[in-house]
Amino acid sequence: MSAQSRDAAIVGVYEYPSRDVEGAVNPLQIKAACAAKALADAGLDWKDVDAIYDASESGPMSGLMISEYFGIKPTVMDTTSVGGSSYEFHAAHALRDIRSGKANVALLTYGSTAHSNALAIGAGGRGGGVSPGDNMETFAGQTLVANYAMVAQRHMHEFGTTSEQLAEISVATRFHAMRNPEAVKAMEDLEFMNIRETTVEDVISSRMIADPLHLLDCCMISDGGGAIVIASAEIAASCSKKPVWILGSGESIKYPENGGDITVSAGAQSAPIAFGEAGVKPIEIDVAMIYDSFSITVLTLLEDLGFCGKGEGGPWVSGGKLRFDRPSDGPAINTDGGGLSSNHPGMRGIFLLIEAARQMRGESHSQVEDARLAVAHGNGGMLGARHSAATIILARD
């Protein structure tokens, strides 16, 4: 590993414990509660925050009024909103703002009541509002999950990938979820049936949602939220917890093009930038927090991040090698249980950073022994169509 610049670090994290709030709180209240806890985790206060990063998920113009709601007066405001990867974008922007001297303490927050509001995230419309492709896609009635199923079908056609191989991803994340009390409680509250570790056979025997994706290939829909505090090296030195350094970041987007390959994500562009800036290689990564809206999302992103070649993901994930207790086999995947078995309130990127930070601190329920490096990779929008990607490389102190 080469020497890295350590200019900014995650110093505070908090994840809202309930995945089913039953209307007791709204997204803004979830954001505020998480922010207060994350600041306390860092040993900081509201008055220390001088930069706010907000994806406006709690309502229109929330970027304008969130500071008032929190009672702070930041000198940096970033309202980048690019779907589930927004929070990796925010972490990248916070790193740049801190490096430039424009900020010292950055606050990232998320809150959602997607489950309580009964949002049809996967089986409903494609979402995202008006786009250049609406006249070619929306009229045909293609749902979001069907879009991902199309990518899975293409991957199978091109590379011989099987449903059993995709199932390995769901099995690994459930293995981790069963060690996370909040994930188990989430499955109970959301009325999952037969809550336990699963097998490949369980996944491929679950009902078909959009061929070839089965029920257990698909993320849950939950309520939830979280917050992250990122600070300069000077501030981090006096915080309560050991800093988790942001070593590198990369951002990219992708959209449908004539002759384009839908099995390649925007991560193929963002990942080399992040790894290059961090001065590390994929083989050095101990923990990979990968956006898991569906099992095919993870398989595709693992390839594009460089853990294996394009088309090699199926064999590469097989045999249980993604588990936290198999450190010599490669990175542990989504050790909190992921969107498949812990939480997915609609935009899951912030939880990737939270669990990656917990791993670097030694605080995970599925702790990878001697974990030193982690990657958090967010995917926003729809794989195979227009989507965003951001890659964040993290290191323990």
Give the integer Cα–Cα distance in Å for 173 and 167: 10
Tokens 């998320």 found at: 110
Report pLDDT for 2: 43
Report pLDDT for 360: 98
* Per-residue pLDDT reduced to its tens digit, 156-203: 999 999 999 999 999 999 999 999 999 999 999 999 999 999 999 999
364: its two tokens: 């995970």
Residues of the chain with pLDDT under 50: 1-2, 126-128
Residues in the chain: 397
* Per-residue pLDDT reduced to its tens digit, 289-330: 999 999 999 999 999 999 999 999 999 999 999 999 997 888
Mapped to the 3 state alphabet, what secondary structure does 192-252 carry?
Answer: CCCCCCCCHHHHHHCCEEECCEEHHHECCCCCEEEEEEEEEHHHHCCCCCCCEEEEEEEEE
pTM, two decimal places: 0.95
Report DSSP state, residue 293.
S
Listed residue (34, 2, 41) closest to 15, CA to CA: 34
For the chain, list the domains and their CATH numbers: 8-118+220-396 (3.40.47.10)
